Amino acid sequence: MGRGCLWHAAAGALSSDVGYARLLLRGRAGGFRVKGEWTVRASDVVYEDEWIIVVNKAYGVPSQPTRDPDRDNVFDAVTRYLARREGKTPYLGLHHRLDALTTGLLLLTKAREANASISAQFQSRRIGKSYCAIGAGSAPVSETYIRPGATWTADGPIGEAPGREQRFMVGGRGRRPARTEILCERAVRFAGGVAGMYACHPLTGRTHQIRVHLAWCGLGIVGDPFYGELPRALRALWPGRMCLHAERLEFEHPMTGERMEVAAPRPEAFVRFFEKIERMSRATTGREFLWGEGASGGRG
């Protein structure tokens, strides 16, 4: 936990199904596209001053422009938001990205003078990131991974998956070191599989890193169209989105040096979904939490 200011998004300000206007999402989880514009509202802004702005990104919206001119993105949406308010085209700098199907915190600079500090912090891994994910599978690699309170480090180099564009895997082509600290917060067993709520802290910045590492542990993120698994028992409960949310950022303010922490609540769809899994688990197994028995070790 960092020291200094703590800023929170309003609870429920942005979930998987509210918090944005004029978004028409179509297809399954892997095929969501934005048609029209994402209108940023004041409630989507977690923190802002004259130097930086942190927004709570909506589901299905890319962080930056894509090759599809009809697909909106966070950079353009925040630019429009500031332009409407200030009556002129603002400066905006994007220093990191979230996958389109990931919701949560995105930090942008509003002044060129802030770029050097923010860029250096990202490059030196001094910006702390925390994500929430719901992972599920037929069987994890280690029982440790479904023991509430257990922590481990997924330490597996990530590279390109052969023959699959924009797909990655541990040990893939051109692999680079990748490490993710993972905490199992809650876990349940149900007919045909297990599921858990995980707090994930990436220590490196590889593409799809958390998604690949959880899948490597046998707990692919629910709704992930590339690496996830959706056990049959969960299909009727699934909220129809990838269950990955960037919920916390810690960094030094680029101008004052003050240590800051910003947080965005977990989407309501996340919470409701896991509560439904827990109720189903209690009904079928008589237990809410799954504790590994005689488990030791694991990846990392």
pLDDT in tens, the chain (300 residues): 333 455 655 443 333 333 322 333 333 344 455 566 889 999 999 999 999 999 999 999 999 988 888 889 999 999 999 999 999 999 999 999 999 999 999 999 999 999 999 999 999 999 999 999 999 999 889 999 999 999 999 999 999 999 877 899 999 999 999 999 999 999 999 988 999 999 999 999 999 999 999 999 999 999 999 999 888 999 999 999 999 999 999 999 999 999 999 999 999 998 999 999 999 988 876 655 554 333 334 455
Q: pLDDT at position 229, please? A: 81
Give which of 73, 81, 79 is closest to 41, Cα–Cα. 81
Using an 8 Å Cβ cutoff, are 217 and 299 in contact? yes
Q: pLDDT at position 69, please? A: 81
Give the contacts of 49 (CB within 8 A, at least 6 positions apart): none
Class of domain 5-285 (CATH, top level)? alpha beta
CA distance 248 to 262: 6
Distance of CA 173 to the CA centre of its chain: 25
Q: pLDDT at position 8, please? A: 53
Residues annotated as part of the active site: 99
Other CB atoms within 10 A of residue 283 CB: 9
Q: Please provide the DSSP assignment of 60-113 as one string.
A: T--SS--S-TT---HHHHHHHHHHHHHSSPPP-EE-----TT-EEEEEEESSGG
Tokens 């509560």 belong to residue? 275
